[in-house]
Amino acid sequence: MKILDIVTLILVIVGGLNWGLWGAFQFDLVAFLLGGNTAALARVVYVLVGLSAVFQAVNLRTLPRRLAAGSHRHAMA
């Protein structure tokens, strides 16, 4: 997998965990760690999570091909 795939996947997971915590406990982990939900750094993380979700959604149909290409390269090494 490309680095961008991994980074965006991690950010989507962070976003999903954050939404899960919000839904279950009304606790915003990103805001807690980064100084509130209106803090500049927290807003940057929210935007990056959203952009990562768009990236992953747009590239979803190519995922099987990208995964196959990645495992083929590792098998050859």
**Cα separations (Å) of 19 from 22, 46, 50, 65, 66?**
5, 11, 12, 30, 28
* SS3 call for 71: helix
Q: What is the pLDDT of residues 19-61, one digit of tens each?
A: 999 999 999 999 999 999 999 999 999 999 999 999 999 998 8
Q: What is the pLDDT of residues 52-68, one digit of tens each?
A: 999 999 998 887 887 78
* Alpha-carbon Rg for the chain in angstroms: 16
Alpha-carbon span 66 to 48, nearest angstrom: 22
